Copies of this chain bind each other. A is one copy, B any other.
Amino acid sequence: MPQGQVETVPDDGLTTRQRRNRPLVVVHTGTMKGKSTAAFGLALRGWAQGWSIGVFQFVKSAKWKVGEEAAFRALGRVHEQTGEGGPVEWHKMGEGWSWVRKPGTEEDHAAAAREGWAEIRRRIEAQTHEVYVLDEFTYPMKWGWVDVAEVVEVLAARQGRQHVIITGRDAAPELVAAADLVMETGKVKHPMDAGQKGQRGIEW
Q: Which residues of A approach B to under 8 Å, CB–CB?
A: 1, 3-10, 12, 16, 19-22, 24, 28-29, 32-34, 36-42, 44-49, 51, 59, 64, 66-71, 74-75, 77-78, 84-85, 130-131, 136, 163, 176, 179-204
Question: What would 5 more interface pairs be, CB under 8 Å, given A4-B203, A71-B85?
Answer: A8-B193, A8-B195, A46-B201, A51-B201, A181-B190
Residues in B neighbouring A22, C-beta threshold 8 A: 191, 196, 199
CB contact under 8 A between A182 and B188, given known A196-B22, A198-B3: yes
Contact (Cβ within 8 A) B196 A180 = yes
Chief secondary structure at chain A's binding surface = mixed
What is the CA–CA distance of A187 and B180 in the complex, to the nearest angstrom? 11
**A190: nearest chain-B partner, CB-CB:** B181
Question: Can you show 15 pairs from A to B with CB atoms below 8 A apart?
Answer: A6-B192, A34-B34, A34-B41, A37-B45, A44-B44, A45-B204, A46-B201, A48-B69, A49-B201, A51-B201, A71-B85, A176-B189, A180-B194, A182-B187, A184-B186
Contact (Cβ within 8 A) B48 A197 = no
A22, A189, A201, most chain B CB atoms within 10 A: A201
Partner of A78, one of B78, B181, B199: B78
